[in-house]
């Protein structure tokens, strides 16, 4: 094992201990006791790669995505290298996400992590893959009792035998991006995320969230990952909200 890899593993171990995270191998004992909740997804199948744009994650029709992306993202730089999603944020996925976040049915996050594990592809170097969740502010986590992105990330990592660490923390509370007008979104999230000091030179990072809406916070995480040397970044999400519905929701909130 190289010295650089050994140093990064040591740093990730410190991050894991500092954030109080249980290792993925302890997931079964750490998991909440709601595993008896019936998951009614037996007839459901996740999207195939050509069902959506790999640059921004938006649903795509046949032939609508080129090497430069789709009509929503063409000409716009994306902070990640690609997006992997399970579905659009629509029925039935939206109901499952709400059951997970607001109904306390945490086992949906384990299911979602398993589904994503089968979709994220093969890494160049399995020894240098890090799965990390988009962070949640401690106050929101305290109210909800968990960060669903962290649970999904733990499940994904466990299914593939990869490392998972909470690399980020929220430095301040932010309003949901869907409640903020477009012109204020950058200011709403600016400097709201910090990263633990870890050398990720040569590492492939899988950044996990339950739903991508505007992608602004995930974008902040990606910029921090780049400054820490990440080789590539894949954003893995359960669902991607239609940008037109996000815009409409913002206008209603306005």
Cα separation, 203 vs 225, in Å, equals: 10
In this chain, which of 12, 15, 73, 221 binds Zn ion, going by CB under 5 A?
Answer: 73
CB 216 to Zn ion: min, Å: 16
Q: How many residues bind Zn ion (CB under 5 A)?
A: 7
Residues 70, 207, 225, 237: which binds Zn ion (CB under 5 A)? Answer: 70
- Sign (positive/negative) of CA torsion 200, 167, 215, 185? negative
By the 8 A CB rule, do 86 and 239 touch? yes
- Of the candidate spans 11-19, 63-71, 121-129, 245-253, the one that interacts with Zn ion by CB under 5 A turns out to be 63-71
Work out how close the CB of 127 gets to Zn ion at its nearest, in angstroms, rounded to a whole number: 31
Nearer CB in complex with Zn ion: 113/215: 215
d(CA 96, CA 15): 31
**Residue 82: beta bridge partners?**
234
Q: State both tokens at 11.
A: 């740093």
Residue 88 binds to Zn ion (criterion: CB under 5 A): no
38/67 with CB nearer Zn ion? 67
Task: Give 70 or 221: the residue with its C-beta nearer to Zn ion.
Answer: 70
CB of 120 to Zn ion, least distance (A): 18
Least distance to Zn ion, CB of residue 182, Å: 17
Establish if 220 lies at the interface with Zn ion (CB under 5 A).
no
CA angle 20, 80, 167 (to 5 degrees): 10
Among 8, 24, 69, 113, binds Zn ion (CB under 5 A): 69
The smaller minimum CB distance to Zn ion, of residues 45 and 77, is found at: 77
* By the rule CB under 5 A, 56 interacts with Zn ion: yes
For the CB of residue 95, give the shortest distance to Zn ion in the complex, in Å.
25
Q: The tokens of 119 are what? A: 């979709």
State both tokens at 47. 């999207």
Closest distance to Zn ion from the beta carbon of 85 (Å)? 12
The answer to the question of residue 53 lying near Zn ion (CB under 5 A) is yes
- 58's CB contacts (< 8 A; 6+ apart) are 52, 70, 72, 73, 240, 242, 243
Q: Which is nearer to Zn ion, 69 or 113 (CB)?
A: 69
Question: Backbone dihedral region of 168: left (phi > 0), alpha (psi from -120 to 50 degrees) or beta?
Answer: beta
Tell the smallest beta-carbon distance from residue 83 to Zn ion (Å).
Answer: 8
Q: Which residues bind Zn ion (CB under 5 A)?
A: 53, 55-56, 69-70, 72-73
């Amino acid at each position: 094992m190289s010295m650089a890899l050994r140093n990064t593993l040591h740093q990730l171990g410190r991050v894991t201990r500092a954030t109080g995270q249980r290792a993925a191998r302890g997931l079964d004992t750490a998991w909440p006791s709601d595993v008896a909740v019936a998951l009614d997804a037996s007839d459901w199948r996740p999207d195939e790669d050509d069902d959506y744009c790999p640059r921004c994650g938006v649903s795509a029709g046949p032939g609508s995505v080129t090497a430069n992306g789709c009509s929503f993202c063409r000409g716009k730089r994306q902070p990640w290298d690609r997006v992997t999603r399970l579905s659009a944020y629509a029925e039935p996925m939206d109901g499952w996400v709400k059951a997970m976040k607001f109904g306390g049915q945490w086992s949906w996050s384990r299911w979602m992590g398993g589904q994503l594990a089968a979709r994220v592809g093969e890494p160049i170097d399995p020894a240098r893959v890090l799965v990390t969740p988009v962070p949640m502010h401690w106050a929101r986590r305290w109210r909800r009792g968990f960060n669903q992105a962290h649970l999904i990330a733990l499940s994904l990592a466990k299914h593939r035998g990869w490392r998972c660490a909470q690399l980020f923390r929220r430095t301040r509370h932010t309003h949901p991006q869907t409640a903020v007008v477009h012109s204020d979104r950058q200011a709403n999230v600016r400097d709201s995320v910090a990263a633990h000091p870890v050398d990720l030179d040569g590492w492939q990072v899988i950044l996990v969230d339950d739903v991508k809406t505007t992608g602004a916070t995930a974008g902040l995480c990606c910029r921090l990952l780049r400054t820490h040397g990440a080789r590539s970044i894949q954003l893995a999400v359960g669902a991607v909200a239609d940008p037109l519905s996000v815009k409409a929701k913002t206008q209603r909130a306005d």
